Structure 1
Amino acid sequence: MNVRAHFFSALAGGLVAALLVAWLLRPDVVVPSHTIPVVSTEPALYWADRADPSRPMPELPAFGVDFRQAARRTTMAVVHVDARVDGRDRATVKALFNREDNSGNLGGQGSGVIYRPDGYIITNYHVVEATDNITVTTDDRRRYSAEIVGVEPKTDLAVLKINAENLPYLKSANSDDAEPGQWVLAVGSPLGLTSTVTAGIISAKGRNLSLLRDPDAIESFIQTDAAVNPGNSGGPLVDADGQLLGINTAIASRTGLFQGYSFAIPINLVSRIVDDIIEYGSFRRALMGVEISTLTAADIERLNLSDRSEGVVVDAIFPGGAAEQGGLLVDDLIVAVDGRVIRDLPELTEIIGRGRPGDRLLVAVIRDNKSRELTIDLQAADE
């Protein structure tokens, strides 16, 4: 067949296809329903199904979660914290806040979350550090003078009290159950913009950023990609139901503004500290009496560990401390506490930080490549 024959054959096929389409589009032609998908006149309520067109649409995937109720519930319990420095040496406090208003007063701004309906509020220690005058503004724009009930610099937490009753507050979630990939909201006053809500997911847990300078500081942050900026500090991180998961504290940034990662103190640790501050005025911390560090490749080689890549190494034992009394030794590898697997230092410091003096921990260790369990009774920090 020559080229001309191919051309006319293709032309004829195209004409037949065009005539068929034109005939199908005639207004008097009825096309069987099974050849065209059924489209509902009520979007997002029904989907096309040849057997039953009225069958309800399946549940939306995770990205279709509606955060409106969680946002409404959370913003009602979030406050704006304005911390002023009136009577201090300006050179001393300017580095803390790096901010000066038109009246010449130094100060800083942050957020807080109402913890109890009788006026107790959680925020970050660094928000109210060295301040003389603290004003709290609620979501309905009422302003209150606030006093500091107590602080815990080693976890960057502070508790404020305002003279108010029947305030909206947030119920706490179980931060131990939080998982990477879970939706979360961050709420606060970034850059002075009050009642701001941002969404993201949990990126990781148990992060230690070495932000707090004290050698026995407790850092075990929840990492998220919800946008957090200066002014968000002290505000809540909540789950998709509006339950409190943590207190937003820091961002990873080279510019001072959000660049993809933010960090929150888990609420299980926060509640332990805040409840003590409210009841006693300070955090009654329990200690194990050890110096510890995350297992490294050098430790694995030095201790000749087989089939072990995670855990916490005991570097030193304090005389008379809980660890010594419980039989813990230098170079023991702690791999679990009360059945919870310990992978690195932040996980263990959080567990100890949440303990109370007198609490008994069942500690699983590897010693000379053999497993054993020890009972450690935590001691008060002042013992």
Structure 2
Amino acid sequence: MRLLIVILAAMLASTLAGSAQEPLGLPLAGSQGAAFPTLAPLVKKVTPSVVNIAVKGRMAQEQNPLLNDPFFQKFFNVPDTPAAREISAAGSGVVVDARQGLIVTNNHVVEHADEISVTLTDGRRFQAKRIGTDPDTDVAIIKVPAEDLVAIALGDSDKLEVGDYVVAIGNPFGIGQTVTQGIVSALRRTGLGIKGYEDFIQTDAPINPGNSGGALVSLRGELVGINTAIVGPAGGNVGIGFAIPANMVRDVMDQLVKYGSVRRGRLGVVVQDLTHDLAGAMGLATNQSGAVIANVEAGSAAERAGLKVGDVITAIDKAPVRSASDLRNKIGLLRIGDVADLVLLRGGKSMVVRASVAAPVQKLIEGGQINPLLEGASFGPVTADKSTNGVQVISVQTGSKAARAGLRKGDIITSVNQEEITGPDEFAASAKASAKRLLLTLLRDGHALFLVVQ
């Protein structure tokens, strides 16, 4: 039996050591002649870079939609503005620049924070300053005035493969720094509806509440992802966790440090996946990957570059485009004014088109200017990735008429008084024509609903 254990341990050590190029090392350790693989040297190296984050803040309470009814408010003396509640939460972060004291974490960890406290592994505690946040990728950068920090090196997440061993480090349930181990279960997970730009690493390394913003580390001791979400019916780990790839984090972080926000450009195309059937119908190899242009917006950067409906974009700046969401991610990480070389197939022939990424053109409509019932809300065009007509709610002021009516940021209005609308101009005209009451059809979180505004 003892011989069998030694053989199995040796086999595991060999497997782990061969799973990554030049890993930090999995030396054999044990006693009484028995040797076992260990991750201790790796853990000792990287854990000083992972910090615990505690936040305090205030946010508006969710309330029953019935409380938005003006008659109900008046009859039961309900205040116009919902009371704010105090919040406190725990999360994690990773030191990425020791000299400047920069720490990367999730936006959802700090977005409602009035006070951010960072505790290092040596017990030191500092108040952190928010440098920049990007809700669309769920990345945030904070800064602490600390010396002798230990930063972790950022790895190349594009080199990850399914089956690679990884280690997750964070502060689950606020109990303190914890290390878990697993493998990369899948790559380039999209369409989960977690965030606007999705290219997740999926892992079975246990991730739990409080791990958000923590590190996903390769056996090289490099940061390959920032843990951000889990799939769990009871809110706990069931072996499916998601991390933002380090390459995406790096691109977002550069802009957050420089500008405090991400200055996204846009190409101005509507695209769809190049499926096997579609590729066959277009006379292309059925294993060809890419994104097919279904529409080119008038006056857009795409139109100026000469892109056409039916073009298949296969690469951007030599980086392969695997799908429509992959294209959107790559364009979304480019800065306004960046020039990109697009490799595309047109009529079965390959060509390169150079496009300058433009600033988003957003025509905002102030609700109070078109109808007093919509005071406090602003509206704009629906982003191209939503694939629907109508207008999008860009912002809603807390306590405003629009907020009390139940409108939320991100709602997509598809009809007014049961008349479909195609865009901002038609919405404005329809809203102006109805002074006493508006019956709106909304899309919210993928669900349709009616909302009466009066």
Q: What TM-score do the two structures reach when normalised by structure 1?
A: 0.75
Shifted more, 287-296 versus 122-131: the winner is 287-296
Name the SS of the counterpart of 1:111 in structure 2.
strand
Distance (Å, rounded) in 2 between the aligned partners of 1:253 and 1:291: 33
User: How big is the shift at 1:382?
Assistant: 6.1
Aligned-partner SS, 1:122: strand
- Secondary structure of 1:286's match? coil
CA contact (8 A) 2:301 2:357 kept: yes
Q: Percent identity?
A: 37
Which one is further off, 317-326 or 273-282?
Answer: 317-326
Q: Distance in 2 between matches of 1:69 and 1:382?
A: 51
Bigger relative CO (Cα 8 Å, ≥ 6 apart): 1
Q: Are the counterparts in 1 of residues 187 and 202 from structure 2 also a CA contact under 8 Å? A: yes
* One of 335, 344, 349 as aligned partner of 1:370: 349
- 1:148 paired with 2:130, answer yes
Pick from 66, 72, 78 the counterpart of residue 44 of structure 2.
72
SS of 2:256's equivalent?
helix
Q: How many residue pairs align between the two structures?
A: 314
Structure 2 partner of 1:112: 93
Aligned position for 2:15? 62
Distance 1:313 1:229 in 2: 38
Q: Contact between 1:268 and 1:354, CA under 8 Å: does it hold in 2? A: no
Paired AA for residue 114 in structure 1 = V
Aligned-pair distance for 1:350? 3.0
Residue 307 of structure 1: aligned partner: 285
CA shift digits 1:171-222 (9 cap, x unpaired): 1111122222211111101122322111111122211143346xxx211111
**Per-residue deviation at 1:114?**
1.0
1:262 aligns with 2:280: no
The answer on whether the counterparts of 2:279 and 2:285 sit within 8 Å (CA) in structure 1 is: no
Alignment match of 2:189 (pick from 200, 207, 212): 207
Instruction: Name stretches of at least 5 consecutive residues in structure 1 with no aligned partner.
Output: 1-38, 45-56, 93-103
Q: Give runs of aligned pairs for residues 7-26 of structure 1, distance below 5 A.
A: none
- How far apart, in 1, do the equivalents of 2:39 and 2:359 lie? 42
Q: Give the Cα–Cα distance (whole angstroms) in 1 for the partners of residues 256 and 141 of structure 2.
A: 7
d(CA) in 1 for partners of 2:12 and 2:191?
39
Structure 2 stretches of 5 or more lacking a match?
18-25, 27-37, 64-84, 363-454
Tell whether the 8 Å contact from 1:155 to 1:212 is kept in structure 2 after alignment: no
The within-5 A match list for 1:91-240 is: 91=62, 105-117=86-98, 118-212=100-194, 217-240=196-219
Distance in 2 separating the partners of 1:382 and 1:281: 20
Secondary structure class of the residue paired with 2:293: strand
Distance 1:149 1:311, change over 3 A: same
Equivalent position of 1:289 in the other structure: 268
In the alignment, the residues of structure 1 paired with residue 301 and residue 294 of structure 2 have an alpha-carbon distance, to the nearest angstrom, of: 15
Residue from 42, 56, 62 that aligns with 1:84:
56
Equivalent in the alignment of 1:356: 335
- Structure 2 distance, partners of 1:286, 1:274, is 16
Render the CA deviation track for 1:276-315: whole Å, top value 9, x for unaligned. Answer: 11122221223222222323466447x5443234321223
SS in 1 for 2:257: helix
Letter in 1 for 2:44: R
Residues 276 and 286, structure 2, Cα contact 8 Å, conserved in 1 = no
> Cα distance, 1:59 vs. partner?
11
The separation in 2 between residues aligned to 1:124 and 1:207, in whole angstroms, is: 18
- C-alpha contact 1:186 1:227 (8 A) present in aligned 2: yes
Q: Structure 2 length as normaliser, TM-score? A: 0.64
Classify the secondary structure of the residue corresponding to 1:241. Answer: coil
Distance 1:329 1:141 in 2: 58
Structure of higher CA gyration radius: 1
- Give, in whole Å, the separation in 1 of the partners of 2:282 and 2:328: 25
In 2 relative to 1, CA 88–358 (structure 1 residues): closer, same or farther, beyond 3 Å?
closer
Shift of 1:351: 2.4
SS at match of 1:69: helix
Relative to structure 1, is the Cα distance of residues 206 and 346 closer, same or farther in structure 2, using a 3 angstrom cutoff? farther
1:331 Cα deviation from its structure 2 partner: 2.6
Q: Which residue of 2 aligns with 1:328?
A: 307
Give 1:242's aligned residue.
221
- 127-136 or 236-245, which moves further after superposition? 127-136
Report the structure, 1 or 2, having the larger strand content.
2
1:273-288 aligned at under 5 Å gives the runs: 273-288=252-267
Q: Which residue of 2 aligns with 1:31?
A: none
Name the aligned partner's letter for residue 55 of structure 2: A
